[in-house]
Structure 1
């Protein structure tokens, strides 16, 4: 700490071996921390004494000596492999997928202009291009509870957001009669921005709460007109597979429009496309669509409880994925 700011520097020499264990015990004693209720992990043989200071220890990608100690101490042993670089085939398939998006968009645009049926054209583009892109890149969708996608329309579809691939998965599943909310920057994206505008998406400024609320008001009218809404209640892509905090916007929209909330839980999309990546990797995205929530009897004063309930169901589904 320097002038009230964290510098990231180390206070003193780095601790090693037994000195680290001694420092942990001293720190715990000073701050009244119960080490028998504490956790620690490491990947180095030099930290064996440190691991023995706590009740819950784990070793990560251990070498042989540390692995043997972990086995004798009944410590948890975790093994992770580094993600491989994208192969030439993966890059080629991803390029082919985006070419498919361009071609279907051109075909749909011609249809929309010549017939005047712009929304129908946009829905055809979104569903067809998503199907094609996923097929070209070897991405499959394993969906449970698909009937809940059609059980009640219009609805507010909530999904946990980790990757750009979520959009293609959802458009492939929902097919038609859907619009949504996304960040304003997407409106400037070539092809995609025009497509989402044709689908009546609302573009919001996440840094301006007032304008974001105003942008959501037409969405309620769309619900009343019969269009469903797809929203990521976390507000952005999460950095890890762990759920981010759910925001209130989607819940207010559902309550004001009087339509159900349908949770769409996506389990492993980041394996096919990491956050901030545009490359598709082959695999199977697992999706579980849960039964709709009837919000007609919900009260605004209890909205935090309702949000917590829905987020808990998302988390419980992710933690204990239903077997077919």
Structure 2
């Protein structure tokens, strides 16, 4: 319980301490210094994420970094076991990235502002029109060179076993034409179980699979979804 209290206190103190940098980055954005903005945002996000994971006491083992394309954006598609999946993917996969996230997160003080700077896309799954707009915005972000992460199960697993992908969750990849990088996360559900706020150390493995060329599926979203699901599941 003490670890959990320390973690949440640290989380918000860290966020408060980033306010001066947040103001500076927004100033750079207004000045049109986008490359400088992106470098600062990426570095801040990665350092923040690594510190949060380390504070949980967890050990992270990552394999497959050599599969990451260096000069092209990708859509990371990952299974979803815990809220800690986000900082682990941010901190331990060496490629800047944003997330397809629930619209409620955008309202979080400071956090929402940083996520917008990371080119995250916020989606309301209950609103079909807004979801389509979010997919279109995500495709634009990908075409503009910003990698994104999507959790197509739509919610966290209770026991680490994969859930079915939500219909249409990979339309973003087909619309943008960028490669998909499947990612398998194993063990994060033990750090913070679903419907619990208690943080416990865990041994986590992250497996990065080779990129999948979405153009080979000729706009066949169900076939692409099944293929990616199988790649991720076999590495659990």
TM-score (norm 1): 0.65
Structure 1 residue 196 corresponds to structure 2 residue 115: yes
Structure 1 residue 309 corresponds to structure 2 residue 222: no
Alpha-carbon RMSD across the aligned residues, in angstroms, is 2.2
Once residues 145 and 130 of structure 2 are traced to their aligned partners in structure 1, the CA distance between those partners, rounded to angstroms, is: 24
Once residues 278 and 155 of structure 1 are traced to their aligned partners in structure 2, the CA distance between those partners, rounded to angstroms, is: 32
Q: Could you tell me which residue of structure 1 aligns to residue 33 of structure 2?
A: none
Secondary structure at the counterpart of residue 85 of structure 2:
helix
Q: By how many angstroms is 1:163 displaced? A: 1.1
Q: Find the partner of 2:178 among 227, 245, 259.
A: 259
Q: Could you tell me which residue of structure 2 aligns to residue 184 of structure 1?
A: 103
Secondary structure at the counterpart of residue 101 of structure 2:
strand
Identify if the C-alpha distance between structure 1 residues 284 and 106 changes in structure 2 by more than 3 Å, giving closer, same or farther.
Answer: farther
Per-residue CA shift, 1:239-273, capped at 9, x if unaligned?
33221111344422212222111011001101111
Secondary structure at the counterpart of residue 297 of structure 1:
helix
Q: Could you tell me which residue of structure 1 aligns to residue 77 of structure 2?
A: 158
Instruction: Note if contact 1:102-1:191 (Cα within 8 Å) is conserved in structure 2.
Output: yes
Per-residue CA shift, 1:29-56, capped at 9, x if unaligned?
xxxxxxxxxxxxxxxxxxxxxxxxxxxx
Once residues 184 and 177 of structure 2 are traced to their aligned partners in structure 1, the CA distance between those partners, rounded to angstroms, is: 22
Identify if the C-alpha distance between structure 1 residues 260 and 248 changes in structure 2 by more than 3 Å, giving closer, same or farther.
Answer: farther
Q: By how many angstroms is 1:205 displaced? A: 0.9
Q: By how many angstroms is 1:313 displaced? A: 1.9
Once residues 216 and 225 of structure 2 are traced to their aligned partners in structure 1, the CA distance between those partners, rounded to angstroms, is: 14
Q: By how many angstroms is 1:110 displaced? A: 4.5
Once residues 250 and 226 of structure 1 are traced to their aligned partners in structure 2, the CA distance between those partners, rounded to angstroms, is: 20
Once residues 150 and 279 of structure 1 are traced to their aligned partners in structure 2, the CA distance between those partners, rounded to angstroms, is: 36
Q: Could you tell me which residue of structure 2 aligns to residue 233 of structure 1?
A: 152
Q: Find the partner of 1:292 among 211, 223, 231.
A: 211
Q: By how many angstroms is 1:99 displaced? A: 4.3
Once residues 224 and 248 of structure 1 are traced to their aligned partners in structure 2, the CA distance between those partners, rounded to angstroms, is: 23
Identify unmatched segments of 5+ residues in structure 2. 30-35
Per-residue CA shift, 1:51-89, capped at 9, x if unaligned?
xxxxxxxxxxxxxxxxxxxxxxxxxxxxxxxxxxx3x2x
Once residues 69 and 195 of structure 2 are traced to their aligned partners in structure 1, the CA distance between those partners, rounded to angstroms, is: 31
Once residues 191 and 218 of structure 1 are traced to their aligned partners in structure 2, the CA distance between those partners, rounded to angstroms, is: 22
Q: Find the partner of 2:43 among 124, 143, 147.
A: 124
Identify which of structures 1 and 2 has the higher relative contact order when contacts are C-alpha pairs closer than 8 Å and 6+ apart. 2
Structure 1 residue 216 corresponds to structure 2 residue 135: yes
Structure 1 residue 98 corresponds to structure 2 residue 11: yes
Identify if the C-alpha distance between structure 1 residues 257 and 185 changes in structure 2 by more than 3 Å, giving closer, same or farther.
Answer: same
Q: Could you tell me which residue of structure 2 aligns to residue 133 of structure 1?
A: 52
Q: By how many angstroms is 1:303 displaced? A: 2.6
Once residues 101 and 249 of structure 1 are traced to their aligned partners in structure 2, the CA distance between those partners, rounded to angstroms, is: 36
Secondary structure at the counterpart of residue 288 of structure 1:
strand
Higher-Rg structure is: 1
Once residues 161 and 57 of structure 2 are traced to their aligned partners in structure 1, the CA distance between those partners, rounded to angstroms, is: 25
Identify if the C-alpha distance between structure 1 residues 213 and 130 changes in structure 2 by more than 3 Å, giving closer, same or farther.
Answer: same
Identify if the C-alpha distance between structure 1 residues 252 and 313 changes in structure 2 by more than 3 Å, giving closer, same or farther.
Answer: same
Identify if the C-alpha distance between structure 1 residues 114 and 219 changes in structure 2 by more than 3 Å, giving closer, same or farther.
Answer: closer
Once residues 134 and 290 of structure 1 are traced to their aligned partners in structure 2, the CA distance between those partners, rounded to angstroms, is: 22
Identify if the C-alpha distance between structure 1 residues 136 and 258 changes in structure 2 by more than 3 Å, giving closer, same or farther.
Answer: same
Once residues 115 and 246 of structure 1 are traced to their aligned partners in structure 2, the CA distance between those partners, rounded to angstroms, is: 38
Q: By how many angstroms is 1:294 displaced? A: 1.0
